[in-house]
Amino acid sequence: MRRLRHLAALLALALPATALATVGGANYATQYDFDELRAFTDGKPLRVEIMGQPPFAGVAADDAARQMLPLIQAGRPQRLRSIFTYDKPAERPRPEYRLVLVFDSADNLNSSTVCEGQSRHKPPVAGQVNIFAVYCRNDQMMSETTGWTAATGPSDPRLGRLFFDIMSTVFSDAQGLKPQRGFDRL
């Protein structure tokens, strides 16, 4: 434990504060099951919805979205082999799994509202990227988190780090989040 704290302190000194992204906690529904998501989306598309305007001066929203998709794909957990896409399927699949990214979400916006396709926004903060990320199954929230960093554009490495942190939080495969069915306990 002592070595771990020492290593963490060294890393904190080695990384400049501007290279860091912050994730503000997470919330998981009781029904959250990483293995279910993995089974349904293994090698298949997983839709990403963007709500709001990515706050990059001089970059059109469509262009920013196009440049962010590879960052989202690169940030996914290794065990999740989904192919992230913005494309809407011709028919709505059931169950429908999707990741919703809300830029500059209002402070009173909740994940249930986001999964129903609605959003509210607050004014952007110059030089700051704020994302409310919600993983939805149909119209139900499975997990959510918030993240922010001081990225200046889609090619800023800080944005890639933010997506990595958000994706590993929203799509966590932590043992403590696995559903308990009663028969797997001793």
Residue 103's domain is classified under what CATH number? 3.30.160
Q: Is residue 184 part of a domain?
A: no
Cβ partners under 8 Å of residue 107, min gap 6 = 122
User: How many domains are contained in the chain?
Assistant: 1
* Whether 51 contacts 119, CB under 8 Å: yes
Q: Is residue 179 part of a domain?
A: no
Q: Is residue 169 part of a domain?
A: yes
C-alpha count within 13 angstroms, C-beta hemisphere, residue 46:
25
What pLDDT is attached to residue 177?
73
Q: Is residue 83 part of a domain?
A: yes
Q: Is residue 1 part of a domain?
A: no
Q: Is residue 115 part of a domain?
A: yes
Task: Tell me how many degrees the CA angle 88-90-95 measures, rounded to the nearest 5.
Answer: 75
Cβ partners under 8 Å of residue 165, min gap 6 = 21, 22, 23, 75, 147
DSSP-assigned letters across all residues of 97-146: EEEEEEETB-TT--HHHHHTT---B-PPPTT-EEEEEEEEETTEEEEEEE
Predicted TM-score (pTM) of the model is 0.85
Q: Is residue 43 part of a domain?
A: yes
Strands, DSSP E only, in the chain?
22-28, 45-51, 83-85, 97-103, 129-137, 140-149
Provide the residue range defining the domain that includes 155.
17-173
What pLDDT is attached to residue 184?
52
What pLDDT is attached to residue 9?
42
The pLDDT averaged over each successive group of 10 residues in the chain (186 residues) is 44 50 90 92 95 91 95 94 94 92 96 95 92 96 96 94 96 78 54
Q: Is residue 186 part of a domain?
A: no
